[in-house]
Chains A and B, each alone.
Chain A
């Protein structure tokens, strides 16, 4: 039998991956604006932010002057303006999702509370940015831009207020208690609104100058819900509320505010129309938060990725230095040089942590890039639909569904939609629009999966991985002195798994988006893509991942029509034991796939990264380790779902399904001696049977699954060798002489 053996890798990791490597992996090697942004944010993160954390600023819930000074550092370093469009005081052209993800990554490398403090301002502006009127956008964006040289003003800060005290809006964003009523509506004048809202866990409230608040109608003359902009100087009560006594993200300001304010109706985000004497907001609060959260959740996901990768260096340093200084540990001895890294377990655990961090960052940045790709397409889509008189709602869904066939054709061709050689201008224009819409629905289908997948997997599994990281530091890990602030990061990761939609919300999103035909079609195409990579780079685990993806797809298709032992349908939204778990399995696969793609990108451009051959080899081994883990998790979940809802065969089955009768075995034995040895479940003439739960279950109609599962298990071949190689490299890699933060 011919076998494929990975080429002998002589080079391995020599130093920790630096900026040139990351720029290629995360696709901003050609974006010097983003490279500079990274440097600027890093300087703030590892300087003022790290100094605050080291100085104990996380010990107080209050918003102190020292914490407030961070906002000025954000302004001076371009962090605040990174979100803004150029015409409103920003400096980055085009979509900002990757830029914001990089900011979140760099700040969260040190402290995610600082990242939240910076990004909460963007969150407050996002409703206005995504759905605001042009006037609202221009007004508030300019107010929030840091002062230009020579200008004497302070930038405005905002807070986004959705969550309310229990039992109102939290996981379920529909349960609003905040109300908007008409306070005054004089003929020919703009109506005045009375807004009553209590918030809970609202970030940036300690200093916000304005708030974008979600409220429901409390007046027959206002239709549905909306988001309104409240300013601190509006008449009424703008009470910042009690400080939240949170144990995490203490470098961000969080409190439970109370608002009772009168504001003009022009503060309704996105504007309104008057119909039959009733104010109809152009966008409901749900429409707005959907547009906002699907982008901002990506940055939250990235915060946890940064934690995992930032933990590697402190853990390696701790392991190496563990015994240095002891009388028994002489310089040059193995114990002195390697410390805990003499032991395989210590190394393997760091490899697992690192592999998880790589996959997590890969998935998070892929999601950010997906939205960068989607944003201009969405604008184009909006313009095309507006020209056709379609303004959201069902008409938009219907129109977009009509381009699905074109989108699928687009996929099958693997390139842009072809236009006829000879065609009228009308035909060309129509096809161009069709093409734009097709591209939009395809990109939207992928972004719609990547965002909740990253938010769910990066944060939830990331929190678990951070616990592992902490455990690798021994008792040191749970002290304030632990380099890399690992204990804080572990706690913070739990918050990241919760805010902007906890795990259940992400799973709920995912079970809808992952079953979209356009996503599934693209997912199908990713399987041969992985096989192709595997044929070129067998050591990456891509083949194994392809097998796991195939298994997942088989399972999904099976579950769509399968029923449980009682005949109840398995795949439906209420059956979260099925749907949510399938979503969990998908996340593992998506993260691993993206990790492999990132390393392939680096492989293709390794000359640009300097001497990166060893880095590519090491990161490929990490891919293999992670692919094996992802395949294992997906395989386990799929097997539980496929088999787990069948009733176990019983000895009492009147047809004795799956059992042999001792008499029939005796008869066969005379024809084929020895055959009885293969029979496990034999019923004796007196009805007795082996002592176990029942006859062993047969795969029956799931033979296809069994075949794929077996193949998947065999595909794990070599994955532990990759882990051993990675561990060996880890024991030799050169790390900086000292930590680079606090500076």
Chain B
């Protein structure tokens, strides 16, 4: 099996369990107290990182990079957990990570960083990331990074990749109606925007973390500041999706009747 060079794009987002309240500031929309909230690697990107680490174990000589645009302090905190779950090299672009950044500018910064990775062989490149983001989810950044790097084989909503011995691979993507689309690709380079994948979140292992931190700490220290401006971008308004709560108390209703009612409601 050919060695893979897998680059995972992903940033940190506020822990989804926190209260996420959009507010408008002079600098544009933000989440209230965003810089004070605990951060995690974007859950979709995290799925793709775990898949990448798994694939790298299957083919010797493979390398995994996590290219991350986010505030250094926040990324560093997220690494305390992430470093225990998977082995990777970190390239940190120290900049804003909130979900209201311009996807074009973000993609440009990420693509430039990837293009400059020492030792990256583009003929072995699989560009991974999330097809969604917990910060907002336009679902376009990864696609634009791929385009800037000239990668035209792109897959979104990926749940599985199966590598062939000849370097080709098979990708299973989510499509409408709860179905999957199976595609075959001759080989890298390709862009894969992951849905949830099939790997659960690995357990934390501090011993693995200690080992990984020897590589990650210098990368954190070397993080270069990146300006991501949102010039020309204007949001008319932002709000969290409204919740619908319709409670009705019933007694002695059969499961079939409940199912019928749910079905009727959905239709």
Among B36, B203, B205, the residue within 8 A (CB) of A18 is: B36
Interface string of B8-32 (1 = CB under 8 A from A): 0000000101111100000000001
Residue of B nearest to A146 (CB): B207
Could you tell me if A33 and B210 are in contact, using CB atoms closer than 8 angstroms? Answer: yes
A-B contact count (CB 8 A): 85
- The reply to whether A32 and B213 contact each other, CB–CB distance below 8 Å, is yes
Which residue of B17, B33, B77 contacts A734 across the interface (Cβ within 8 Å)?
B33
B181 within 8 A of A: no
- Partner of B204 from the list A33, A36, A608 (CB cut-off 8 Å) is A36
- What B residues does A615 contact at CB under 8 A? 36
Q: B38 contacts A43, CB within 8 Å? A: no
Q: Is A610 an interface residue (CB 8 A)?
A: yes
A91 to B210, alpha carbons, bound, how many Å? Answer: 8
Partner of B17, one of A77, A82, A610, A737: A737
B84 touches A39 (CB 8 A): yes
Contact yes or no, A610 B35, CB < 8 A: yes
B36, B73, B203, B210, most chain A CB atoms within 10 A: B36
A91 vs B211: C-alpha distance in the bound complex, in angstroms? 10
Contact (Cβ within 8 A) A36 B19: no
B38 touches A91 (CB 8 A): no
Q: Is B49 an interface residue (CB 8 A)?
A: no
List residues of chain B with CB within 8 A of the CB of A19: 38, 77, 80
Q: Is the CB of A40 within 8 A of B205?
A: yes
**Contact A39-B80, Cβ < 8 Å, known A78-B207, A610-B73:** yes
A627 adjacent to chain B (CB < 8 Å): no
> Is B80 in contact with A611, judged by CB distance below 8 angstroms?
no
Interchain CB contact under 8 A, A32 and B80? yes
Q: Is the CB of A32 within 8 A of B73?
A: no
Q: Write out, one digit per residue, whether chain A residues 24-56 have a CB within 8 A of any chain B CB (1) or not (0).
A: 000000001101111110010000000000000
- Is there an interface contact between A20 and B73, defined as CB atoms closer than 8 Å? yes
A738 contacts chain B at the CB level, 8 A cutoff:
yes
1/0 per residue, CB under 8 A from B, across A61-77: the answer is: 00000000000000011
A43 contacts B203, C-beta separation under 8 Å: yes
B206 interface neighbour in A15, A36, A734, Cβ under 8 Å:
A36
B81 interface hit (Cβ, 8 Å): yes
Supposing A39-B204, A76-B205 touch, asked if A18 and B37 sit within 8 A by C-beta, the answer is yes
Q: Is B83 an interface residue (CB 8 A)?
A: yes
- Please indicate the chain A residues that have their CB under 8 angstroms from the CB of B19 in the complex: 734-737
Is A348's beta carbon under 8 Å from chain B? no
Contacts of A686 in B (CB 8 A): none
Q: Does B209 contact A (CB under 8 A)?
A: yes
**Taking the complex as formed, is A701 at the interface, i.e. its CB lies under 8 A from any CB of chain B?**
no
CA distance A559 to B15 in the complex (A): 55
Interface residues of B in 199-224 (CB under 8 A from A): 203-207, 209-210, 213, 217
CB-defined contacts of A20 to chain B, threshold 8 Å: 73, 77
A14 touches B (CB below 8 Å): yes
Q: Which residues of B lie under 8 Å from residue A14 when comparing CB positions? A: 33, 36
Interchain nearest-CB distance for A605 vs B (Å): 12
Bound form: Cα–Cα A19–B206 in Å: 17
For residue B80, which residues in chain A have a CB less than 8 angstroms away from its CB?
19, 32, 35-36, 38-39
CB distance from B36 to the nearest CB of A (A): 4
Q: State A163–B57 Cα separation when bound (angstroms).
A: 50
Closest residue of chain A to B240 (Cβ to Cβ) is: A737
CB distance from A174 to the nearest CB of B (A): 40
Asked if A77 and B36 sit within 8 Å, CB to CB, the answer is no
Proximity bits, A464-481, B CB within 8 Å = 1, else 0: 000000000000000000
Say if the beta carbon of A81 comes within 8 Å of chain B: yes
Of chain A, the residue at the smallest CB distance from B80 is: A35
Q: Using a CB–CB distance below 8 Å, which chain B residues touch chain A?
A: 15, 17-21, 32-33, 35-38, 73-74, 77, 80-81, 83-84, 203-207, 209-210, 213, 217
**Can you name 22 A-B pairs with beta carbons within 8 Å?**
A14-B33, A14-B36, A15-B18, A15-B37, A18-B38, A32-B217, A33-B213, A36-B213, A40-B84, A40-B205, A43-B81, A78-B205, A608-B73, A610-B36, A611-B36, A734-B19, A736-B17, A737-B18, A737-B19, A737-B20, A738-B17, A740-B17
Cβ-closest 10 pairs across A and B: A78-B206, A40-B204, A39-B81, A36-B209, A35-B80, A15-B36, A737-B19, A91-B207, A14-B33, A36-B206
